[in-house]
Chains A and B, each alone.
Chain A
Amino acid sequence: MSRALATLAATVIGVYWLVTFKVTPAPVDVPVAAAPSSRTTPAPGARATSTPTPVAPTAQGGTAFTGTTIETIWGPVQVRIAVAGGKIVDATALQLPSDRSRSARISQYSAPILRSEAIQAQSARVDIVSGATYTSRAYALSLDSALKHAQGQ
């Protein structure tokens, strides 16, 4: 269901550009948004309990990078990404405080979709905000860790 990809796409856009920039030698024609420095600042009460796991191949033929497990007071958060051709082709929440691993994936989405969706998502001017935030710092920290691992390869 392609329409279901949009939200996750919006999430990984920043890191998508980061990986594209770092992993592929080809020039990129987009402004490279550096990962916000806040991503490297541990959330209050959050701590890393493991180091990133070694590289592993993925079903998509890409390379998987697993982020550090970040402990929150509600439980562990851990993210795994798969990178192929300089793109994130899969992102999986391996651990979430709900105590249920999720493995729904976002494989095969295209970069143009990511691009326009992310721009729209981040530049909106609104009168009112409705919505939830969910273990966001821990998720970002684990994702950041997986990305750093990817960049080091």
Chain B
Amino acid sequence: MRRTEDVMGMPITIDVRDGDADLAPVYDELRRIDELFSTFKPDSEICRINDGRLALAVAGPEVHEVLALCDTYEARTGGFFSARRDGALDPSGLVKGWAIARAAAMLDARDHRSYFVDAGGDVQTRGSSGGSEPWRVGIRHPIERGSFVRVVLARDLAVATSGTYEKGPHILDPHTGRAATDLVSLTVIGRTILEADVLATAAFAMGHRAIDYLENIPGYEAYAIDPSLQATWTSGFDAWCERPAVGV
């Protein structure tokens, strides 16, 4: 069974292949997370912290958990991932992956072993898509609509893509405060969507150094496309794809 609802300003699709799943509580949880962390909803805890109505010390445990994770990844990425922008808290770069992981954990707890949770193109897959078939995750071609540059064959794999979407550059390099423009698309794959998503955001801001950086992150592989549509990828990436790159 497959269902899509708009939450957090993006379509979130959950597809469960091993039996009936009650997805209503999962979407309720995603909406609850959005109410806590949204930077667009004035009464979210994040907004109340930012405008001084809520002391950080008395914010809820989930806010503290997320901010602690943000600090961890900020340190691990040399500051290229940051939950602070212009002095204000904005953990949304991590919350999306965290929320997907939450939804996946709820499905795990209900003994589902064949599903995916896709939030705006960032996805956690579990098991297979049915039988022994892997989930087929297409990495969108940046120019040709409806075509793909690679098809990742995913089993228990997370796939996250950061990109300069049609709304224009939107990922800032925390070190310069400017939009990162070296790449138009960076896909990171690995075991967990939380890390894949954070790494995609951080490495996107690193620009041309992204692939070198990700090459040295154990358990994660990546595929980058620059504005002249040249692609580079980590050495292990093709092993996860339907077929190796032609011309290697």
Contacts and interface: CB of A to CB of B under 8 A. Distances in A.
B79 interface: no
Contacts of A121: 141, 144, 147-149
B156 interface: no
B143 A140 contact: yes
Interface residues of A, number: 49
A97 interface: yes
Interface string A1-19: 1111111111100100000
A122 interface: yes
Interface residues of B, number: 57
Contacts of A102: 226-228
Contacts of B123: 128, 130
Contact of A6 (B125, B187, B247): B247
16 contacts: A2-B247, A6-B246, A7-B225, A103-B228, A120-B243, A121-B149, A126-B148, A126-B151, A129-B140, A130-B121, A130-B137, A130-B152, A132-B163, A132-B184, A133-B165, A136-B166
B230 A8 contact: yes
A98 interface: yes
A75 to B, nearest CB: 8
A10 B147 contact: yes
Interface string B98-142: 000000000000000000101001110100010000011111111
Contacts of B125: 128
A127 interface: yes
Contact of A113 (B141, B163, B226, B247): B247
B136 A125 contact: yes
B116 A99 contact: no
Interface of A: 1-11, 14, 73-74, 91-93, 96-100, 102-106, 109, 113, 116-117, 120-122, 124-136, 139-140
B38 interface: no
A113 B247 CA distance: 6
A117 to B, nearest CB: 5
B142 A131 contact: yes
Q: Which of B135, B160, B187, B247 has the most CB of A within 10 A?
A: B247
A7 B187 CA distance: 13
B120 to A, nearest CB: 9
A7 B230 contact: yes
Given A130-B138, A131-B142, A113 B185 contact: no
B169 A129 contact: no
Nearest to B188: A130
A104 B183 CA distance: 13
Contact of A4 (B118, B142, B187, B230): B230
Given A1-B232, A132-B142, A127 B137 contact: yes
A81 to B, nearest CB: 12
Given A3-B245, A74-B168, A130 B147 contact: no
Nearest to A6: B245
A10 B142 CA distance: 10
A140 B229 CA distance: 13
B181 interface: yes
Nearest to A8: B229
Contacts of A106: 230
Interface string B151-172: 1101000011111111011000
Nearest to A131: B140
Contacts of B248: 2-3
A133 B242 CA distance: 22
Contacts of B166: 133-136
Interface in B215-248: 225-233, 242-243, 245-248
Given A7-B149, A10-B149, A130 B187 contact: yes
